Amino acid sequence: MSIFSTRVILIVGQLRVGHLVEAGLWLALCLFLYIYSFEFDKDIEIYKFGASAWPRAIILLIVIAAIGQLIQQWKRGDESSSQVINAATDDGAEEAAHEAHHEGFKWHLSTLALLVIPFAYLRVPDWISTLLSLEEGSSVHAIRLICAATLIALFLFYMRRNMVGAILTLPLFFAALLEDMGFYSIAPFFIIGVMFLFGERRPKPMILIAALIFGLLMLLFVKILFVGLPVGNIHPFYDIGSWLVTVLQ
């Protein structure tokens, strides 16, 4: 065996082409999201790191996870995940998906439609504003509110038919609305939405748990860490967020 071949074996280890492709896709996605983060990289008065700090921190965690997984696959190949895959294969998930019609074309199409909704909110209001030659102000804010209400209605419509797609979409939709609506205004609805999608239907426990989680988040970020969360930039969401920050601080 030549020296070159030995070096290739040492570098590749137990990696397969699929491992490299998967890691490459994750890293490419992170690069795209990092470049896109400059679109909303703005200063925030009550948070010195700016609006893009938390998204970039999450992107960094994804990069670390992708590289860590690649290193593990380089050392152990598919051995480390074989037991998990076998367990997933034997737990009846495939049969359950078949019975729930989670493998048909219509289900995949509705999942795609749900996943498009958050990205539509990021682009469609800007396209409409540009088409109408509107400058940033009350008219643009009104368009954003109309688009948000329309897309929320679409989300609720498709959610009833595709809970799995809704679970995947809800965090993305929450993140898309965060800059305009603010964390303080929409976080309680996000928490209730998560509980609903995971099967909880009792109103009182949902409201109590959402209030408890929201209160703990406020205590942690606002009172203890003094971290500024997005307050929104559209009325009345901005007013609600600013009032809560003032009261809590």
pLDDT digits (tens, 9 = 90+) for 230-249: 888 888 888 888 888 888 77
Calculate what percentage of the chain has a pLDDT beyond 70.
Answer: 80
Domain identity same for 12 and 74? yes
Mean pLDDT of 78-107: 53
Domain hosting residue 188, numbered range = 182-249
Give the pair of three-digit tokens for residue 147: 């688009």
Among the candidates 145, 171, 197, a domain finishes at 171
Write out pLDDT tens, residues 173-189.
999 999 899 999 999 99
Name which of 42-46, 87-91, 113-117, 122-126 the model is least confident about. Answer: 87-91
Cβ(13)–Cβ(70) below 8 Å = no
Whether a cis peptide bond, with omega within 30° of 0, leads into 236 is: yes
pLDDT exceeds cutoff 60 at 88: no
Residue 72 within any structural domain of the chain: yes
Q: Which of 180, 155, 178, 185 is nearest to 167 (CA)?
A: 155
Among the candidates 91, 119, 154, a domain finishes at 91
Residue 211 within any structural domain of the chain: yes
Residues ≥6 apart with Cβ < 8 Å to 222 = 229, 245, 248, 249
What is residue 99's predicted lDDT score, i.e. its pLDDT?
47
Mean pLDDT of 16-35: 88
Residue 227 within any structural domain of the chain: yes
Residue 177 within any structural domain of the chain: no
Cβ(121)–Cβ(154) below 8 Å = no
Among the candidates 115, 149, 171, a domain finishes at 171
Domain identity same for 211 and 231? yes
Domain identity same for 195 and 217? yes
What is residue 20's predicted lDDT score, i.e. its pLDDT?
86
Cβ(66)–Cβ(30) below 8 Å = yes
Residues ≥6 apart with Cβ < 8 Å to 141 = 180, 233, 234, 235
Write out pLDDT tens, residues 101-139.
555 677 788 888 899 999 999 999 989 988 988 877 778
Residue 176 within any structural domain of the chain: no
Q: Residue 7 — pLDDT band, cuts 50, 70, 90?
A: very low
Residue 106 within any structural domain of the chain: yes
Residue 235, CB-side half-sphere exposure with 13 Å CA sphere: 3
Q: Identify the burial level of 163 via C-beta atoms within 10 angstroms of its C-beta, where 0-12 means exposed, 13-18 middle and 19 or more buried.
A: middle
DSSP state, residue 224: I
What is residue 235's predicted lDDT score, i.e. its pLDDT?
85
What is residue 36's predicted lDDT score, i.e. its pLDDT?
87
- Rounded to whole angstroms, the Cα distance separating 166 from 153 reads 13
| Number of domains within the chain | 3
Calculate what percentage of the chain has a pLDDT beyond 90.
Answer: 33
Name which of 3-17, 167-181, 205-219 the model is least confident about. Answer: 3-17
Using CA atoms, how far residue 223 sits from 184, 208, 226, in Å, is: 14, 21, 6
Mean pLDDT of 199-225: 87
Cβ(192)–Cβ(247) below 8 Å = no
- Listed in sequence order, the DSSP H helices in the chain are 3-12, 17-36, 53-76, 79-90, 93-99, 105-131, 138-159, 163-181, 183-197, 203-218, 237-248
What is residue 152's predicted lDDT score, i.e. its pLDDT?
94
The better pLDDT of the pair 155, 221 is held by 155
